[in-house]
Every structure is written in structure tokens, then in C-alpha cells.
């Protein structure tokens, strides 16, 4: 009887833990110095520190629309109001984890930003649906969408 009860407790606690974890985590943390976007290129050994200092955490549950061709996602406007979140995102660093693995990191810049970056860049757009985030190869005229397949594996049903 004790073994069955222990098995049930372990099953339920494992199910609860699984329900609380997210496949995609987009962590937003402050840049230490606004002029140096290079500090956003962090290795996985510093990810724990970045997670602890993240001012915004976004998961796949916060995404209401996904465009894999453009690597562009739309955030839930009920949770992320445009004006408030735009201020909290721009000029910060992002860290994208999928299934617990750091996929990429870089600066978050407005769609109108003239700041050049060769790092992966999260561009912020205000759209009719709410707030869009696009992951591109940098902030230049030659920037291309990146991590489409990695994100699509999580966001496909959106």
C-alpha cells in the first residue's frame, strides 16, 4: 500500500512540475552599459545569473501568434501592454532557451533603431494585434530571420 501511495505521489508531483515548466523561455535582462551590446552575447555558464536578474520572462504560453517565415511572434496583449512592455524591453538583452538549452542571445532593439549590431537581435514592433518580437541575425539592412526551426518546434500550434 505504501509503495502504491508513494508511486501516486511521485506521479502527481512530476505531472505538476511538468505543467509548470516551459519549453521556451525568453528572458529579458538589463544591459550593464547601454553602449555595449556585446555584453548580451553571454555563454551558457552565465545563464543562471541572467535568469536571476531577468526583469521579464516570456514563455510559449504568452505567445498568441507565430510567423515561422519571419521568425516573428505576437505576445498576448492582456499580459503585455504595448507601451509598458516596449519601455521594459528596448535597450535590454534577451536570452532564448528552448528545452533548457541556451539557443541564442543578443540585444533588443526597436524596429526604428539605427544602432547596428552583428549579434542576433530581437526587434520590437507594435502591431494591430499587440506587441511583436522578431528574431533576426543582426540589426542591419542584410539581417535575416533566424532560429525559425527551433522556435517553430515549440510555437507551431500558435
Give the tens place of pLDDT for each residue, 82-128. 777 777 787 788 999 999 999 999 999 888 887 778 899 999 998 88
Q: Which of 10-14, 49-53, 55-59, 71-75 has the lowest mean pLDDT?
A: 10-14
Exposure string for 86-108, b = 16+ CB within 10 A, e = fewer: beebbbbbbbbbbeeebbbbbbb
Q: Considering only CA atoms, which of 151, 100, 83 is closest in space to residue 122?
A: 151
| pLDDT tops 80 at residue 142 | yes
Global confidence as pTM: 0.79
Query: Do 39 and 32 meet the contact criterion of CB atoms below 8 Å apart?
Result: yes
Residue 34's SS3 state is coil
* Rounded Cα gap, residues 113 and 85, in angstroms: 16
pLDDT in tens, 9-23: 333 333 333 445 899
Please report the pLDDT score of residue 16 as a whole number: 38
Question: Which neighbouring-strand residues pair with 134?
Answer: 72, 123
The SS3 assignment for 117 reads strand
Amino acid at each position: 500500500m505504501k509503495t502504491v501511495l508513494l508511486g501516486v505521489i511521485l506521479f502527481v508531483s512530476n505531472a505538476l512540475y511538468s505543467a509548470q515548466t516551459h519549453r521556451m523561455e525568453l528572458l529579458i535582462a538589463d544591459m550593464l552599459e547601454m553602449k555595449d551590446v556585446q555584453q548580451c552575447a553571454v555563454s551558457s555558464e552565465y545563464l543562471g545569473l541572467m535568469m536571476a536578474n531577468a526583469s521579464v520572462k516570456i514563455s510559449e504560453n504568452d505567445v498568441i501568434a507565430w510567423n515561422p517565415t519571419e521568425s516573428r511572434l505576437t505576445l498576448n496583449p492582456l499580459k503585455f501592454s504595448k507601451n509598458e512592455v516596449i519601455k521594459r524591453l528596448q535597450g535590454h538583452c534577451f536570452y532564448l532557451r528552448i528545452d533548457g538549452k541556451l539557443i541564442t542571445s543578443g540585444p533588443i532593439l526597436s524596429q526604428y533603431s539605427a544602432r547596428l549590431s552583428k549579434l542576433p537581435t530581437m526587434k520590437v514592433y507594435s502591431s494591430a494585434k499587440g506587441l511583436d518580437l522578431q528574431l533576426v541575425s543582426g540589426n542591419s539592412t542584410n539581417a535575416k530571420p533566424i532560429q525559425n526551426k527551433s522556435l517553430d518546434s515549440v510555437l507551431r500550434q500558435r
